[in-house]
Chains A and B, each alone.
Chain A
Amino acid sequence: MTHTWQPTASLSNIRARADLLHSVRQFFAARNVLEVETPLLSNGTVTDIHLAAFSTRFEHASDGKTKTLYLQTSPEYAMKRLLCAQVGACYQIGKAFRHEAEGRWHNPEFTMLEWYRPGFNHHQLMDEMDELLQLVLATGSAERKSYQQVFLDQLQLDPLTATTASLQQVLTAHDIDVHGDMALDKDTLLQLLFSYLIEPAIGQQVPCFIYGFPASQAALAKLSQHDERVADRFEVYFKGVELANGFNELSDSDEQRRRFNNDVAQRKQLDLPEVEHDERFLQALESGLPQCAGVALGIDRLLMLKVNASHIEQVISFPLSRA
């Protein structure tokens, strides 16, 4: 009989989490990066079509009306508001929530480390992240490659110029068979090729930074000054896992508003729930976000790599099934 009151993580992994959080806090304390806290429960939420937030009802608002509140999917907007208020370099270790399925690498509630560095560009932030990973995972210095280069190296394919038809051909040639008749758009095709064929091939010995994602996958990143087809966004992969996502942060409030509106239009087209964008975040951008780079890193996945766990349940005391 299984005792479902018990934690799924071993006591040694529960201790390893405490050690990991302690090293992360020491790392930032030594660099004068301030630890901050921002709300988990918020009035606005993300518009990104691939993110879904949990929502709840607030029945005690001062105006007497019932309000929808959202559990945050990442502390990004709130932390950027602090940056606009001149808080300076800051980090946060906190819970984030995504209304998604559970899986080997996914629990709907997870722990995120997010930090921002005013005055850094995304390459300087990759340097700092590399130092953090070397410290906590006792690994060598990371590799660094552009998104375009890694596709050329692994698949002899230029992701920036390839047509949808040619990407579909590569997918078929590798026996990647997607159920249903609905055609896949270019970003989804690139994403599938990346997840199935590139991720398992990179960052096996040391972590691998991939930067310069297509502009269509930019989210909150600036577009590159050298090539406007790509965004100053990077991801970190290690042993087949996506560990972190960082940006040279977009500070243009008009451009940010355009991207939000575009998301909202796409949501309507795809029949996704309507969401309220975060107007306070846009107001903060209008007042001026210092030039900065920021990154979010999944602490549970980092811990999985550190203790060699094969399922996220092994590092979370009570995953959703036992929460």
Chain B
Amino acid sequence: MANYSTNEFKGGLKIMLDGEPCNILENEYVKPGKGQAFNRVRIRKLISGKVLEKTFRSGETVEGADVLDTELAYLYTDGEFYHFMNNETFEQIAADEKAVGDNVKWLKENDVCTITLWNGSPITVTPPNFVELEITETDPGLKGDTAGTGGKPATLSTGAVVRVPLFVQTGEVIKVDTRSGEYVSRAQK
């Protein structure tokens, strides 16, 4: 993998830091008129998801990380691995529980997810921003409530629990924003 100098640092560049692939979020050049030059860099560690700030001496070089985002459709889980497929090449890849993490609750068959590969292995699985899932269980709400005040918990087919308005019932399909975990609307038929 190539090395990158601080001059090449910009949002989206993937580098290795403490043995972990990282994504550069922001890079600010700091140079007093009479003093040493530094780069103040905001970084997201791609495995832990942790965001941190690190200061580099200007001109320093670091190793690049072989990280690639790929769009793959979710197929199924065998209980241990989650299997995804490239819809164009039909190539399949298996991600472990660690890579899927909490996002397991948004995985629906045939939905296209973003899989981040490091040295060819999946390290994170990001579901689409919006998914449509069926409600498997929720208390029957009061008819006529359309204001959505308060709402009630609903369990979805994947096991996710979201707050929904009182008028939404078991068996209905709803649209959820996976980034916030919030109900958006009833699904379009």
Which residues from chain A sit less than 8 Å from chain B, CB to CB?
48, 50, 100-106, 175-180, 182, 187-188, 191-192, 194-196, 217, 219, 235, 242, 245, 296
B60 at the interface (CB under 8 A from A): yes
Instruction: Indicate the member of B17, B33, B54, B60 with the most A CB atoms within 10 Å.
Output: B33
Known A175-B53, A179-B54, A180-B60: A103·B28 in contact at CB below 8 Å? yes
Judge whether A245 and B29 touch: CB under 8 Å: no
- B35–A101 touching, CB < 8 Å: no
Given contacts A103-B28, A106-B29, contact A50 B52 (CB under 8 A): no
Bound together, the chains give a CA A195 to CA B29 distance in angstroms of 11
| Distance from A147 Cβ to chain B, minimum over Cβ atoms (Å) | 12
Cβ of B37 and Cβ of A101 under 8 Å apart? yes
B1-38 to A contact mask, C-beta < 8 Å, 1/0: 00000110000000001000000000011111111111
Q: A-B pairs with the 9 shortest C-beta distances?
A: A103-B29, A191-B35, A178-B55, A245-B33, A179-B56, A101-B29, A101-B7, A188-B36, A177-B54
- In the complex, chain A residues whose CB is within 8 Å of the CB of B55: 176-179, 192
Q: A103-B28, A192-B38 are in contact. Are A242 and B56 (CB under 8 A)?
A: no
The 8 Å CB contact of B58, one of A101, A177, A296, is: A101
B interface, over-half SS: strand
Residues of A contacting B62 with CB < 8 Å?
179
A98 to chain B: closest residue by CB: B31
- Is the CB of B57 closer than 8 A to any CB of chain A? yes
- Which residues in B have their C-beta under 8 angstroms from that of A217? 34-35
Is A50 in contact with B36, judged by CB distance below 8 angstroms? yes
**A57 to B91 CA separation, bound complex (whole angstroms):** 57
Given known contacts A102-B29, A103-B28, A104-B28, A177 and B53 CB-to-CB distance under 8 angstroms: yes
Of the A-B pairs whose beta carbons lie under 8 Å apart in the complex, a sample of 27, sorted by A's number, is A101-B7, A101-B37, A102-B29, A103-B28, A103-B29, A103-B31, A105-B29, A106-B29, A106-B31, A176-B53, A177-B55, A178-B54, A178-B55, A178-B57, A179-B55, A179-B60, A180-B56, A188-B36, A191-B32, A191-B36, A195-B38, A196-B40, A217-B34, A219-B34, A235-B33, A242-B32, A245-B33
- A180 to B38 alpha-carbon distance, docked (Å): 13
* Chain B contacts for A242, CB-based, 8 A: 32-33
Total number of A-B contacts with CB less than 8 angstroms? 71
B31 engages A100 (CB within 8 Å): yes
Say how far B173's CB is from chain A's closest CB, in angstroms.
Answer: 41
B29 in contact with A48 (CB, 8 Å): no
A177 near B52 with CB under 8 A, answer yes
Contacts A101-B6, A103-B28, A177-B52 given; indicate if A50 touches B57 (C-beta within 8 A).
no
Chain B residue contacts of A175, Cβ below 8 A: 53
Residues from chain A with a CB closer than 8 A to the CB of B35 are 50, 187-188, 191, 217
CB distance from B27 to the nearest CB of A (A): 8
Please give 10 more A-B residue pairs, beta carbons under 8 A apart, in addition to A101-B37, A179-B56: A103-B28, A103-B29, A103-B31, A177-B53, A179-B54, A179-B55, A180-B57, A188-B36, A191-B35, A195-B32
How far, in Å, is B181 (CB) from chain A's closest CB? Answer: 29
Roughly how many angstroms separate A102 CA and B53 CA in the complex, as a whole number? Answer: 20
User: Measured between alpha carbons, how far is A179 from B15 in the docked complex, in Å?
Assistant: 13
- In whole angstroms, what is the CA distance A175 to B56 when docked? 14
Cα–Cα, bound, A140→B62 (Å): 45
A104 to B39, CA, bound (A): 12
- Partner among B34, B39, B60 whose Cβ is within 8 Å of the Cβ of A48: B34
Chain A residue numbers with a CB within 8 Å of B7 are 101
